[in-house]
A and B are shown apart, each in its own frame.
Chain A
Amino acid sequence: MSTGWSGPPFGPIGVMRSWLKPRPGSGDRKRRRSSLVAWVILILGVFYFLLPLVATLEFSLRPKPTTLAYTNVLADPKFGGSLLYSFTIGIITIIVSLSIILPTAFWVRLKVPRLRPVVEFVTLVPFIIPAVILVFGIIRVYSRKPFVFTATEFGSDALLVAAYVVLSFPYMYRAVDTGLASIDVRSLTEAAQSLGAGWTRIILRVILPNLRTALLSGAFLTLAIVIGEYTIASFLARNDQFGVYLSLLGQNKAFEPAAVSLISFGLTWLAMIVIALIGRGTRDRIQITGAR
């Protein structure tokens, strides 16, 4: 994905020259004109993207003393509590999602390739079903006999995890499946079998280590999605969820929400950087679209 560093950033013109020189191509004049347009577009784009972030930062620093919003937030036990809750839910989601997707993708590839289109379709359904509709259905089914999950805290948490696992399917399945595709599972498995390894050993010692990259990027994507999610959690009355906490904070406080929004953006950045670092050198980048 990345073409890497190709010139020192000596300001636009310097960069342009150093970029143009070694590049084989037609007419330098034409290219220079087009890169001028490109710079204008880029600067406008960067402006649009950074403005809300700068505004949020400025807003969060308005109270006196300037760090008040941040110290208030950090002193609020609900802040740490909601982060911890969302993180825990995220980890559980990842574990459940992986323990369902990994064997399935493996088995589909190795033993029942006929089912592949079916599994693929099911994992893509969450793309078609908006979160609000998924939670609508879940609440209607699991708030009445015989499955009254919504009556208890634990039951609601379980429903939340289940919904998030469904949301994670498209990313997780694609991550694992491309991972499996890149290592030629069949040959690896057959080689391990011919050396006398059993199934458990094959999965734990042969397949998993080779899927490290794919699994980690799938996991961090899931984490990034779960932590910011609002719709499902709010309808399931999971007020400890980070997104719901932020929303409630936004209704009751003035400057603290700005601080928390910025922190949340930073967390998303962190997850993406980790994904980028893990994914370095892999060709398939996994598409990410989070909770809207």
Chain B
Amino acid sequence: MTALPLRVRRRPTFSWVGVVPFFLFAIAALGLPLGFLVIGSFQDREGNLTLQNFSDLTTGTIPIAFMNSIEVSIVTALLGGILGFLLAWAVIMGGLPGWIRSAVMTFSGVASNFAGVPLALAFVFTIGNLGLVTKFLFETFGLSLRRDLGFTIYSKTGIEIVYLYFQFPLMLLIIAPALDGLRREWREAAENLGASAFQYWRHVAFPILAPSILGTMILLFGNSLGAQATAFQLTGGTIELATIAIGRQIRGDVLRNPGLGYAMAMGLVVIMAFSITVYTLLQRRSERWLRS
């Protein structure tokens, strides 16, 4: 009889054991490193508390790096969003055969994951100096991308074209369920009430999709903002991006101020956290709509 309450009391203690490894690991591999950066960003070289690092973010090439990152991210989020939406519409609602849809979805899974070094190389082989398209245009039309169009892949535009390769399918993958969520009855109800196809899209389908589209574009923005490998492989760091500047900071304290490097990292995290939060909020809204 007396053993019973003891055992009952021991059970809840035991139940905590299951999550202890997880939290220990999370603290070691995630908490400590991030904590180090956070604290470091508020310290000067002597370890005193300061906000100087954050105001120093406006000095040197740092603003250019952030502006470039934001510009590339906005461009690829917008273009990737629009193109991804169009392709998703074509595959899901355009009346194409069903097998095309599953093929495109599977391919998008691969393409959205085909990033980093191999992706950068693949585009160099396509529109780089010796690339297939470059060669084709020059040999067929005598057109030089670099000389006549002023285009080089080792530029911001180049980075954007390459990023689109994973942005576009990611949009497709995330927006597809939202398009599936458009119920046939809504279209029929709109038609029944006298709406044209345009009026249906303008008043019903598009407003219902808008939170998902906007949210996913914001996700794409964050996705592009955090990218490093692709741009680094492509340009070797000649184009200033926030992630590339941070990468240089890891290799060595080029700013002669570690705190400033940490502040840069924090700046990036804040923008990322903001975009993910907005995405989550918008996603929640559209889920609420689609459920009712």
Contact = CB atoms under 8 A, between A and B. Distances in A.
Contact residue range for chain A? 35 or more
Given A133-B246, A243-B117, A258 B226 contact: no
B33 interface: yes
B97 interface: yes
Nearest to B40: A140
A15 B132 contact: no
B36 A137 contact: yes
B94 A230 contact: no
B126 A51 contact: yes
B101 A2 contact: yes
A213 to B, nearest CB: 16
B272 interface: yes
A58 B132 CA distance: 7
Given A264-B118, A288-B112, 20 more contacts: A3-B98, A6-B97, A9-B99, A18-B97, A19-B95, A38-B90, A41-B87, A103-B18, A106-B18, A108-B19, A129-B272, A130-B227, A135-B250, A137-B36, A141-B33, A162-B29, A228-B113, A287-B174, A291-B115, A292-B116
A207 interface: no
A138 B115 contact: no
Interface in B224-282: 224-230, 232-233, 243, 246-247, 249-251, 261, 265, 268-269, 272-273, 276
A261 B268 contact: no
A107 B18 contact: yes
Contacts of B137: none
Identify the interface centre among B16, B97, B106, B230: most chain A CB within 10 Å of its CB: B97
A71 to B, nearest CB: 19
Contacts of B170: 289
Interface class of chain A by DSSP: helix
A18 B41 CA distance: 63
A290 interface: yes
B15 A45 contact: no
Interface in B16-38: 16, 18-19, 21-23, 25-26, 28-30, 32-34, 36-37
A272 B133 CA distance: 28
A91 interface: no
A276 interface: yes
Interface in B84-139: 86-87, 89-91, 93-102, 104-107, 109-119, 121-123, 125-126, 130-133
Contacts, number: 299
A224 B116 CA distance: 13
B10 to A, nearest CB: 13
Contacts of A163: 29
A16 interface: yes
Nearest to A236: B250
Q: Which 5 A-B pairs have the closest CB atoms?
A: A38-B94, A137-B33, A107-B18, A130-B226, A292-B227
B133 to A, nearest CB: 7
29 contacts: A3-B102, A5-B97, A19-B96, A39-B94, A42-B91, A45-B104, A49-B107, A52-B122, A55-B125, A55-B133, A100-B21, A104-B22, A115-B19, A119-B19, A128-B276, A129-B30, A130-B225, A130-B243, A130-B268, A131-B228, A134-B30, A136-B246, A166-B26, A235-B251, A250-B117, A268-B114, A290-B116, A291-B115, A291-B116
Interface string A27-67: 00011101101110110010011011111101100000000
A257 B247 CA distance: 23
A273 B173 CA distance: 16
B116 A228 contact: yes
B165 interface: yes
A52 B123 contact: yes
B56 interface: no
A89 interface: no
Contact of B229 (A1, A4, A230, A260): A230
Contacts of A42: 87, 90-91, 94, 96, 100, 104
A138 B117 contact: no
A107 B122 contact: no
A45 B96 contact: no
B232 to A, nearest CB: 8
Interface string A225-264: 1001111001100000001001100100000011011001
B197 interface: yes
A205 interface: no
A53 B112 CA distance: 14
A5 B99 contact: yes
B123 to A, nearest CB: 6
